[in-house]
Amino acid sequence: MQSPSVFNIVVFGTQSEFDLTKVLPEGSVIQNVNYDIDKLAEGEVPPGELVICFPPSDKSISMLELAQLLRMGYPSSLIFYLVLRREDFEKKRIIKNGFDNAFLLPWESSELQQSLGEAALYSRLPELKDYAPVKVLDLVAEKVLDFGTKVYLPVNNKLVTIGRSGEPLSGDKLRMLNEGSYGTVFVHKSELSNFHDYTKKVLSEMGQIQSETERQEKMRVAVRELVSDLFVDDVQENTFGKSKAIVEELSKTVSAMMKEQYPVIMKKMESLLNEEYSFYRHLSNVSTYAMIFSMAMGLEKPQEVAVAGVLHDVGKTALPLEVANTEESQMSPHALEAYHKHPQLTIDVIKMKRVPLHERITKAILQHHERCDGSGYPAGLNGSRICVEAKILAIADEFDYLTTLKPGQTKMTPKDALDHMIKENGANPVVMKLDVNILVTLREVLIEGKLTKKEDKNAKQSPF
Amino acid sequence: MFAPTTRVLIVDDMSTMRKIVGKTCKELGFSDLTEAADGTLAWEALQNAPAPIGLIISDWNMPNCTGIDLLKRVRADSRFKGVPFILVTAEAEQHQVIEAVKAGVDQYVVKPFTKDDLKTKLESVYKKYAKS
Ligand SMILES: [Fe+2]
Ligand SMILES: [Fe+2]
């Protein structure tokens, strides 16, 4: 089958540490170009719908000059700046200098992949610019909609109408959309305000504050902003106040979920499972799960555990590239030793940024890889010495791993994931890694609905 | 447009930027270009030019004498105060724009700009001077 059209990407500069081909959209053709300042200044550049550039080895050219040179050659193309070194990554400065977007690799590779995919899509089907993506999850079945909905069919490169304005969407149709790869539908921008009014109405009928799309989007933006803020070394940017504000914003968005009943929460949890792995998504998922699990365990201030969840792995970005680029199972003993420092690195990064965090949060982060049988790291603590928040974080971490889409593997449902963890850890208390008492309680509360939230408050503490 | 014979003074501390602005000017029909690497050198070029400078395109951020300093100096001098002046800035900060307008700038261009951006600004400056 012939692809509808070719998407030309011009790549300036070379590097060997990141395999760009892994994230390229289908049907794209890349052309590698060396930085030649004179040629650039003369405007002698190969044509491309999108431009990717790595930092030039010639440091005499400033980022502003580079942006200017590229913008002259590509007045209307997107220009992305890719960085593999944390020290080179000052996102706001890069964007201020005129680049359309900047990505820190490998951490933001799935965000890069998404942005490249979107750019290819929009270039292939220009009319898409008049539409906005909307999560199927926000649509209610059998309700008359005053806006039309369309899906994108890659095979014929077309937007196809699935629901007209003034008609309801059937439950079957919605289910099909949710189960297929169409988690998103498109609404014409002229009808977008109708969509917003609709979600507001539906939400107020359901007694909710914000839609799932809004919540997920807010989380994603907040996590990304928080993480990229941690890279800014400029004291002037005053990370203290800003990080605190982001953490507070996060607390608010996750707390909004607390007001809901478990079946609603579980439904939302399932919606998170449809996505592929991304570093930021992992952070925000673990945060959400840690909060839900803390609630189910009747812990006080579950949003503090959520904050620990959102931060737990950010120290990984301080790891050397060769460690960051390797799967944990493939690491050499030396790399593994470095990798095991990431909980402490997270604490270091936070401290360096003077983010004010409660000791309960830092402790949970530091201990999130400790295991009940003492086989964990960094301290090899025993179950009795690991705090309950860290145990919950460890379960949330594993839960996200089991329920996330991985290439060539089937993902588990929440119930299967909990059952799997109970089976793995319940057989022999001597080699129990995750706290099985917590797991069993979670299964009772979340899957079987045995305890209500109120009763949870009096729930027994885990003996470990 | 301006007459092709208009002598243009391009001021920027980065040689690549001078090259880019110069190339765009040529493409827009100007052939008589003079370059200077900062405000002080630009001031010298203004006095020593064999024929009068008819247009100044200057960067804002430069060592020694900045673009806004140069602008103020030009506007305060009876010999040059009528020369069209375009400032090129890295970012359009509100207070910067106000300061530039107060000092008598004709247009400002924000980096990174395209050829069309610069062309549009040049045309608007031309229209302004054609009227008066
Ligand atoms: Fe971790
Ligand atoms: Fe993790």
Give the ligand with the smallest distance to the CA of A309.
Answer: 2
What is the SS3 assignment for A125?
coil
Q: Is B61 inside a domain boundary?
A: yes
> Given a cut of 90, is residue A11 above it in pLDDT?
yes
Q: Is the pLDDT of residue A242 over 70?
A: no
What pLDDT, on the 0 to 100 scale, is given for residue A456?
45
| Ordered domains of chain A (ranges, CATH) | 7-123 (3.40.50.2300), 126-204 (no CATH), 212-458 (1.10.3210.10)
What is the distance in angstroms between the Cα of B111 and the nearest Cα belonging to chain A? 7
Q: For residue A369, which ligand has an atom nearest its CA?
A: 1
- Cβ separation A68–B16 shorter than 8 A: yes
Q: Do B16 and A64 touch (CB under 8 A)?
A: no
- pLDDT mean across residues, chain A: 82
**Which whole number is the average pLDDT over A231-241?**
52
Q: Which chain B positions have a beta carbon within 8 Å of A53's beta carbon? A: none
- Distance between CA atoms of B23 and A44, rounded to whole angstroms? 13
A210 touches chain B (CB under 8 A): no
- For residues A320 and A376, the model is more confident at A376
Smallest CA–CA distance from B13 into chain A, residue: A65
Question: HSE (CB half, 13 Å, CA atoms) of A232?
Answer: 19
A–B interface: beta-carbon pairs under 8 A? 43
The single residue listed with the structure tokens 């086989």 is: A375
Flag if A69 and B16 touch (Cβ within 8 Å): yes
What's the confidence (pLDDT) of residue A210? 66
B31: left (phi over 0), alpha (psi -120 to 50) or beta: alpha
Q: What's the pLDDT tens digit per position in A451-461?
A: 544 444 444 43
CB contacts of B20 in chain A (<8 Å) are: 41, 68-69, 72
Distance A312 CA to ligand 2 centre (A): 6
Residue reference for tokens 């579950």: A302
Are the beta carbons of B112 and A42 separated by less than 8 Å?
no
Mean pLDDT, residues A289-316: 88
Interface of B with A (CB under 8 A): 14, 16-17, 19-20, 23-24, 90-91, 111-116
A72–B17 CB contact, under 8 Å: no
Which pLDDT value is given to residue A459? 43
CATH of residue B22: 3.40.50.2300
Q: Is A62 on the interface with B (CB under 8 A)?
A: yes
Neighboring chain A residues of B90 at a CB cutoff of 8 Å: 64, 97
Contacts of B104 (CB under 8 A, 6+ apart): B71, B75, B81, B85
Nearest by CB to residue A71, choosing from B14, B16, B112, is B112
Gap from CA of A315 to ligand 1 centroid (Å) = 9
**Closest-approaching ligand to the CA atom of A366:** 1
Summarised one tens digit per residue, pLDDT across range A404-428 is: 877 777 778 888 899 999 999 988 8
Residue B31, pLDDT > 70, answer yes
Which SS3 state, helix, strand or coil, does residue A307 take?
A: helix
**Residues of chain A contacting B24 with CB distance shorter than 8 Å:** 72
CB A53 within 8 A of CB A15: no
Task: Look at residue B2 and tell me if it is in a domain.
Answer: no
Q: Which residues in chain B are contacts of A72 at CB distance < 8 A?
A: 20, 24, 112, 114-115
- Distance (Å) from the C-alpha of residue A72 to the closest C-alpha of chain B? 5
How many percent of chain B have pLDDT more than 90?
A: 46
pLDDT at A202: 78
**pLDDT tens, residue by residue, B80-107:** 999 999 999 886 677 888 888 999 999 9
Which range, A174-188, A241-255, A366-380, A413-427, is most confident?
A: A366-380
Query: B112 to chain A: nearest residue by CA?
Result: A68
Task: Say yes or no for a CB contact (<8 Å) between A98 and B17.
Answer: no
Mutate to test the interface with B, among A61, A62, A64 (most CBs of B within 10 A): A64
A217: CB partners within 8 A, 6+ apart: none
Look at A97 and B16 and tell me if their CB atoms are within 8 Å.
no
Contact: A67, B111; criterion CB under 8 Å? yes
The pLDDT of residue A78 is above 50: yes
**Percent of chain A as helix, strand, coil, to the nearest 5:** 55, 10, 35
Ligand 2 centroid to Cα of residue A283, in Å, is 7
Burial of A448 (0-12, 13-18, 19+ CB in 10 A): exposed
Residue A107 host element (H or E)? none
The answer to whether A71 contacts B14, with C-beta atoms less than 8 Å apart, is no
- Structurally, chain B folds into a number of domains equal to 1
Give the predicted TM-score (pTM) of the model.
Answer: 0.78
ipTM value > 0.90: no
What's the confidence (pLDDT) of residue A457? 46
- Considering the domain boundaries, does residue B1 fall inside one? no
Task: Tell me whether residues A71 and B113 touch, CB distance under 8 A.
Answer: yes
Higher pLDDT, A47 or A247: A47
Cis amide linkage into residue A429, ω under 30° from 0: no
Report CA-CA distances (Å) from A74 to A127, A129, A398, B115.
22, 20, 45, 10
**Quick check: A228 pLDDT over 90?**
no
| Chain A nearest-CA residue for B19 | A41
Instruction: Say if residue A1's pLDDT is above 80.
Output: no
The answer to whether residue B129 sits within a structural domain is no
Provide the pLDDT for residue A209: 62
DSSP for A113-124 reads HHHHHHHHHHHH
User: Are residues A71 and B116, on separate chains, in Cβ contact within 8 Å?
Assistant: no
Q: How far is CA A222 from CA A226, A253, A460, in A?
A: 6, 10, 34
Domain coverage including residue B107: 14-118
Ligand number nearest to the C-alpha of A279: 2
Checking if the pLDDT of A327 tops 70, the result is: yes
Closest by CA position to B104, among listed B68, B130, B79: B68
Residue B62, in any domain of the structure: yes
- For residue A316, the ligand closest to its alpha carbon is 1
Mutate to test the interface with A, among B14, B20, B61 (most CBs of A within 10 A): B20
Any domain includes B123? no
Q: Does A354 touch chain B (CB under 8 A)?
A: no
